[in-house]
Amino acid sequence: MIPPQEASVRRREIEDKLKQEEETLSFIRDSLEKSDQLTKNMVSILSSFESRLMKLENSIIPVHKQTENLQRLQENVEKTLSCLDHVISYYHVASDTEKIIREGPTGRLEEYLGCMAKIQKAVEYFQDNNPDSPELNRVKFLFERGKESLESEFRSLMTRHSKVVSPVLILDLISGEDDMEAQDDMTLDHLSENVLHDVIRISRWLVEYGRNQDFMNVYYQIRSSQLDRSIKGLKEHFRKSNSSSGVPYSPAIPNKRKDTPTKKPVKRPGRDDMLDMEIDAYIHCVSAFVKLAQSEYQLLMDIIPEHHQKKTFDSLIQDALDGLMMEGENIVSVARKAIIRHDYSAVLTVFPILRHLKQTKPEFDQVLQGTAASTKNKLPGLITSMETIGAKALEDFADNIKNDPDKEYNMPKDGTVHELTSNAILFLQQLLDFQETAGAMLASQETSSSATSYNSEFSKRLLSTYICKVLGNLQLNLLSKSKVYEDPALRAIFLHNNYNYILKSLEKSELIHLVAVTQKTAERSYRDHIEQQIQTYQRSWLKVTDYISEKNLPVFQPGVKLRDKERQMIKERFKGFNDGLEELCKIQKAWAIPDTEQRDKIRQAQKTIVKENYGAFLHRYASVPFTKNPEKYIKYRVEQVADMIERLFDTSA
């Protein structure tokens, strides 16, 4: 049970709390009333605003639509005015550009092309919109006139600025091919930068807008003439310089004369120099063509459209290339005629030229890449012609050596080296400078399977076989010619001289090595032949030494008087020796042995034999009283006999 006091306290607390809750409830009720009032006021305000806003919108929208229509109308008016201005401008193009078109593009190309662009647009406008307008004909006329002026300007620029390349510059260009640093600097600027720019601009306009390809024909004709005249100028430069200072070369860069041939036997005064000049001139013209053609293609690539470049280049080089090929065929023709005359020195012009053509062929092929097959085949055709005529010359030369007739009046009276021998050796020596070329000539005529796998070793063997064939033919002919001499001794001297000349010539050059490729014993064989002829010659002295040999000499005792028969025999021996010695010395003194070493060797051997025999004979009979006039029979001392033999083969003594 709760005490009364405590219950009283709790009642008061509850009452106080209830009172507070009532006050709070009263506050909330008041607040709700105020909130409701505010809400009503806000709804009233919003309703009023909405009403006003609707009234404003109903007033503004028509105004906005009207303004928008006005703006659209204004834009249309502006566009119409702009179109009218644009259209009207086409009607003014002719009058605005006529003066410039009439005066031409010289000196103001960009302005001129700008006018042409305007005219072209006017033409397109009238064609599309008013094809019956007289203005169309007017602008068309201006366009055609302008196009013709551009074509004329293109021709004028190319004509005025395409200059012949000087011979000195060409030679510098050729000479620099082995010097990479020099080659970098040796470029040809055919047209100045400004001119090239104008030519390219006109070319591109004519292709793109003028739809004209005639200018390409103009281009190749002008540049073709320049190329042809440049090469002809180089050739003329050689001709003019040949008479004074020999073959000309540029002072700028030393020229390496790889293909200059060795001298050939002179058959007419001045012929060698002329041949050398012609050879050098042609060789340099071939190299010049390659370099100039390369340069022309570089220039052409900037000016001519890509799909027309090869064809235009093909046309451009034809005159110069045909000139070179024709000159080459003329050389072949001259060589062919020379073969008929057996003038093989003239045929040798083919060798250095053919060698150079084959060396230059890779560059030729590269330059002519993309040209017509007929153009590409011109150089191979010339090479084939030269190889054929060269092989023919080699074959005919070998046959001529074999069949050269034995003409008595043409034989050397002194038994020296025959002209046929010296010419044959000289010809073979000159082939040394063109071993690969000559070998290729011979290989070109081979039909065997080995020829198809041609290489330098095969070429060397063919050339060796050919040289051995010529030498064999020469030896047979010399044997035949030697029969013209009635005196066997002179015949031996003749063969000795020729064999010795052949051997020494082979040894002094690389010919001996070429011969050894197929005939390793050739050198020993020639030495045997030479020795055999010396022995044959020595037998000519037997008719002298037989008189003083011991056989058939009378045997007598010292102090015993000789019988008449014995004295007569001794006299005959002395007389036979003296007469034979005098006769042989008189005859053989006029003979010749050009080789000093061989001449001394033969004299010494003969002196030794005769001195020994004559010395022994004198020792035996000089003191024998076989005559009252010993000086009549004992005419020579041993030293005198030796001196007489020493003067043999010496026409100056």
H/E/C letters for each residue in 412-467? Answer: CCCCCCCHHHHHHHHHHHHHHHHHHHHHHHHHHCCCCHHHHCCCHHHHHHHHHHHH
Report residue 314 as tokens: 């093909």
Predicted local confidence at residue 389, as pLDDT: 93
| Main-chain dihedrals φ then ψ at residue 448, nearest 5 degrees | -75, 165
Q: What is the pLDDT of residues 459-476, one digit of tens each?
A: 889 999 999 999 999 999
Q: What is the pLDDT of residues 229-255, one digit of tens each?
A: 999 999 999 888 875 554 444 333 333
| Main-chain dihedrals φ then ψ at residue 176, nearest 5 degrees | -80, 0
Predicted local confidence at residue 183, as pLDDT: 47
Mean confidence (pLDDT) of the chain: 85
The more confident residue out of 510 and 425 is 425
Predicted confidence band of residue 178 (pLDDT cuts 50, 70, 90): low
* Helix H or strand E segment including 534: helix 522-538
550, 587, 584: which is closest to 570 by C-alpha?
550
19-48 as b/e, with b when 16 or more CB fall inside 10 Å? eeeeeeeeeeeeeeeeeeeeeeeeeeeeee
The more confident residue out of 257 and 31 is 31
The more confident residue out of 570 and 537 is 537
Predicted confidence band of residue 561 (pLDDT cuts 50, 70, 90): confident
CB 546 within 8 A of CB 605: no
Q: What residues contact 279, with CB distance under 8 A and at least 6 apart?
A: 259, 260, 261, 349, 352, 353
CB 394 within 8 A of CB 441: yes
- CA 627 – CA 606 distance, rounded (Å): 29
Looking at the predicted structure, is the pLDDT value of residue 78 above 60?
no
Looking at the predicted structure, is the pLDDT value of residue 583 above 90?
yes
Predicted local confidence at residue 67, as pLDDT: 74
Q: What is the pLDDT of residues 277-329, one digit of tens each?
A: 888 999 999 999 999 999 999 999 999 999 999 999 999 999 999 999 999 99
- CA 304 – CA 199 distance, rounded (Å): 10
- CA 185 – CA 307 distance, rounded (Å): 30
Task: Name the maximum alpha-carbon separation found in the chain.
Answer: 225
What's at 48, amino acid-wise? S
CB 261 within 8 A of CB 348: yes
Q: Out of 47-51, 212-216, 577-581, 597-601, pick the least confident.
A: 47-51
| HEC profile of 91-136 | HHHHHHHHHHHHHCCCCCHHHHHHHHHHHHHHHHHHHHHCCCCHHH
216 sits in the region (left: phi over 0; alpha: psi -120 to 50; else beta) called alpha
Q: What is the pLDDT of residues 629-653, one digit of tens each?
A: 888 999 999 999 999 999 999 766 4
Region 146-152: what's the mean pLDDT?
92
Predicted confidence band of residue 258 (pLDDT cuts 50, 70, 90): very low
Q: What residues contact 577, with CB distance under 8 A and at least 6 apart?
A: 544, 545, 547, 548, 614, 617
Q: DSSP for 351-374? A: HHHHHHHHHHHHHHHHHTTTS-HH
| Main-chain dihedrals φ then ψ at residue 396, nearest 5 degrees | -65, -35
Region 445-449: what's the mean pLDDT?
64
- CA 173 – CA 179 distance, rounded (Å): 10
- CA 87 – CA 146 distance, rounded (Å): 22
Predicted local confidence at residue 32, as pLDDT: 85
CB 527 within 8 A of CB 592: no
Predicted confidence band of residue 56 (pLDDT cuts 50, 70, 90): confident
- CA 332 – CA 354 distance, rounded (Å): 10
DSSP 562: P
Looking at the predicted structure, is the pLDDT value of residue 69 above 80?
no
Predicted local confidence at residue 77, as pLDDT: 59
Q: Measure Cα distances from 110 to 100, 114, 117 in Å.
A: 12, 6, 10
173, 187, 164, 360: which is closest to 253 by C-alpha?
173
Predicted local confidence at residue 278, as pLDDT: 84
Q: What is the pLDDT of residues 494-530, one digit of tens each?
A: 999 999 999 999 999 889 999 999 999 999 999 999 9
Predicted confidence band of residue 565 (pLDDT cuts 50, 70, 90): confident
DSSP 547: G
Predicted local confidence at residue 129, as pLDDT: 87
Q: What is the pTM of this model?
A: 0.74
Report residue 78 as tokens: 């502006």
